[in-house]
């Protein structure tokens, strides 16, 4: 795995900068979050952006450098524990510290359980969405504790409410939610904040590239997308939540309503979920 520091001067050159590591930063929410962080903080930020596609990462890095941010590109497959730990190590070696970890890398899926002949891909989905966040966070924790830093976990509304056709995806996002809620309490006395973001349907390609019942790219979305949130708005809400050290960022009125209705009228939430699925049709892939 090659790091691409763009000839920057190392830890001394990052003096006074906030060091932010973002996984899944080659496109979609992660790439836009990197661009917005660089635009907002400019010379005050050093970004470590990670994903599997280095060519796309390089393009994002160039955009971020235009704002004056320092950027390290690092290839990482978060489904591999050793690569997660190497990523955090590279960030710390390069800049001497870590202030913010954004666990954004993720994969989508849409498949009824009864229509899934082999569950091997569901295990891989858990490694990407849940374990990748766990491994990165565990490796980063000593650095974040030393800096009283911030952890951001990009979950999904499917990590709050069960969605039909998304048993595997919901399982990974519920796991994320439980892990980071518990971690938040563990870290309460350390000064490290944990912000969990719950996007709804966002206008990205994640659902089309997600797994279908056979573990192949779905090619289409299984959700109603006519009112999809723009990636720019989603990234802005995550960034504002991280900077303010908010507990949760639930991005839509429907999401906030559903969270409470789940406690007060769970059957109504089930009906809403089924209706959303019927509008989109039975096929698809996919962050709601």
Q: Can you spell out the DSSP letters for 35-60?
A: HHHHHHHGGGEEEEEEES-HHHHHHH
Q: Which of 236, 279, 268 is nearest to 32 (CA)?
A: 236
pLDDT band at 217 (very low <50, low <70, confident <90, very high): confident
CB 40 within 8 A of CB 69: no
Q: Cα–Cα distance between 228 and 254 in angstroms, integer?
A: 12
CB 237 within 8 A of CB 249: yes
> Which strand (E) or helix (H) includes residue 74?
strand 70-75
Over residues 29-85, the pLDDT tens digits come to 999 999 999 999 988 999 999 999 999 999 999 999 999 999 999 999 999 999 999
Q: Cα–Cα distance between 110 and 170 in angstroms, integer?
A: 10
Domains of the chain listed by start with CATH number: 3-280 (3.40.50.720)
Residue 285 has pLDDT above 80, yes or no: no
Helix segments in the chain, DSSP class H: 28-41, 54-65, 81-95, 120-126, 132-147, 167-186, 206-209, 231-243, 253-264, 266-280
Residue 12 has pLDDT above 50, yes or no: no
Q: Can you spell out the DSSP letters for 77-110?
A: -TTSHHHHHHHHHHHHHHHS---EEEE-----B-
Whole-number pLDDT of residue 281: 47
Q: Which of 85, 88, 8 is nearest to 46 (CA)?
A: 8
Give this prediction's pTM.
0.86
Q: What 3-state DSSP class applies to 199? A: coil
CB 76 within 8 A of CB 52: yes
Active site residues: 169
More confidently predicted of 227 and 56: 56
More confidently predicted of 261 and 278: 261
Whole-number pLDDT of residue 200: 83
Averaged pLDDT for residues 188-201: 95
To the nearest 10 degrees (0 to 180), the angle between helices 167-186 and 132-147 is 20
Averaged pLDDT for residues 22-31: 96
Q: Cα–Cα distance between 265 and 287 in angstroms, integer?
A: 24
User: Which residues, including other chains, have CB under 8 Å from residue 188's CB and lie 6 or more apart?
Assistant: none
Q: Cα–Cα distance between 228 and 145 in angstroms, integer?
A: 36
CB 67 within 8 A of CB 39: yes
Q: What 3-state DSSP class applies to 183? A: helix
């Amino acid at each position: 795995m090659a790091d691409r520091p763009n000839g920057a001067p190392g830890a001394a050159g990052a003096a006074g900068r906030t060091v932010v590591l973002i996984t899944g930063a080659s496109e979609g929410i992660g790439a836009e979050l990197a661009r917005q962080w660089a635009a907002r903080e400019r010379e005050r930020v050093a970004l470590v952006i990670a994903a599997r596609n280095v060519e796309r990462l390089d393009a994002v890095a160039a955009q971020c450098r235009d704002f004056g941010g320092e950027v390290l590109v690092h290839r990482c497959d978060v489904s591999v524990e050793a690569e997660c730990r190497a990523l955090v190590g590279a960030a710390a070696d390069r800049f001497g510290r870590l202030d913010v970890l954004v666990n954004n890398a993720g994969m989508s899926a849409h498949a009824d359980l009864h229509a899934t002949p082999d569950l091997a891909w569901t295990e891989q989905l858990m490694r990407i969405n849940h374990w990748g966040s766990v491994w990165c966070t565990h490796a980063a924790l000593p650095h974040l504790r030393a800096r009283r830093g911030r952890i951001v976990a990009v979950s999904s509304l499917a990590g709050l409410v069960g969605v039909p056709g998304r048993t595997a995806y919901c399982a990974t996002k519920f796991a994320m939610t439980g892990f980071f809620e518990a971690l938040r309490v563990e870290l309460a006395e350390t000064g490290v904040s944990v912000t969990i973001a719950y996007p709804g349907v966002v206008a990205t390609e994640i659902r089309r590239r997600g797994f279908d019942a056979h573990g192949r790219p779905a090619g289409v979305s299984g959700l109603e997308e006519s009112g999809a949130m723009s990636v720019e708005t989603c990234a802005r809400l995550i960034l504002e939540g991280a900077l303010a050290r908010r507990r949760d960022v639930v991005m839509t009125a429907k999401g906030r309503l559903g969270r409470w209705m789940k406690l007060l009228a769970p059957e109504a939430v089930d009906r809403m979920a089924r209706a959303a699925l019927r509008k989109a049709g039975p096929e698809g892939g996919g962050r709601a």
